[in-house]
Structure 1
Amino acid sequence: MGINYSSLLEDLDANQEEKEAKKEVFRKYLESSGVLDALTKVLVALYEQNDKPSSAIEFIQQKLGGPTVCEYENLQAEMSDLQIKYYELLEAHKEKCWEFVIPPVEVNINNPHHSSGNNIGITGAGYN
């Protein structure tokens, strides 16, 4: 019982071809969606900078249109403040709404001689 090296090599070749095919599909996707062009332009711009930025990542983010780290942190803080303000306003709104709620009216038809003094037995909201 020996090892079939020929079969083993064929399997390795098939796996390698499958990996290469996947890479090619992905490369075409990046090319067709404009990612390769955008990255190439940004990297060329970084290369052409006489004074290299201290953070290449921030440079790339800025050139691709994203916020800088500082801008992102400021936006996060602003969002947190606005969420707090939103919940404060929502609570104030709920409290204000309760000022306009009229208590429910109860009608007691089974007891026409209700202690409220009227014939039907209505209580609540100024009927007592």
Structure 2
Amino acid sequence: MAYYKAVDLKRKQFWRYVENSGVLDMLMKVLVALYEEPEKPTSTLDFLKHHLVAATPENPEIELLRLELTEMKEKYETNVEENKKLKAKLAQYEPPQEEKHAE
């Protein structure tokens, strides 16, 4: 009997957590949107994923990280180009591989 009370208590705590964190409201909104959809989507799971992602507020840190990623990609491309140019320049001054082995 004590086992059932412990399970019931855990279940109630979980539902309180889900309600207080806003997950339940978010799920209900998405399910209502699905219900009100005039033409039901072929993939319900994709519909839910799309609407849940669209409903989450954008974190300012995420936007900063996206900008930083874009800058790093640009720097990377610049460095790759510079590396190619420097290798070509270096190749002009180095003797060919066959001459190195002959020495």
TM-score with structure 1 setting the length: 0.43
The unaligned stretches of length 5 or more in structure 1 are 1-12, 67-81, 100-128
Find out whether 1:63 has 2:51 as its counterpart: yes
Where relative contact order (Cα < 8 A, 6+ residues apart) is larger, the structure is 2
Between the aligned residues of both structures, percent identity stands at 39
Q: Which one-letter code corresponds to 1:25 in the other structure?
A: Q
Give, in whole Å, the separation in 2 of the partners of 1:42 and 1:36: 10
Find out whether 1:36 has 2:24 as its counterpart: yes
What is the deviation of 1:38? 0.1
After superposition, residues 1-128 of structure 1 pair within 5 angstroms as 13-65=1-53, 89=80, 92=83
Give, in whole Å, the separation in 1 of the partners of 2:5 and 2:32: 32
Q: Could you say what secondary structure the match of 1:52 adopts?
A: coil
Q: Which one-letter code corresponds to 1:45 in the other structure?
A: A
Give, in whole Å, the separation in 1 of the partners of 2:4 and 2:35: 34
Give, in whole Å, the separation in 2 of the partners of 1:41 and 1:65: 13
The unaligned stretches of length 5 or more in structure 2 are 55-72, 91-103
What is the deviation of 1:50? 1.6
Give, in whole Å, the separation in 2 of the partners of 1:14 and 1:40: 33
Q: How many residues align?
A: 66
Q: Which one-letter code corresponds to 1:46 in the other structure?
A: L
Find the structure with the greater CA-based Rg: 1
Partner of 1:113: none
Give, in whole Å, the separation in 1 of the partners of 2:10 and 2:32: 27
Which runs of structure 1 show a deviation greater than 2 angstroms over 4 or more consecutive aligned residues?
A: none
What is the deviation of 1:49? 1.1
Give the structure with the larger helix fraction: 2
What is the deviation of 1:19? 0.4
TM-score with structure 2 setting the length: 0.53
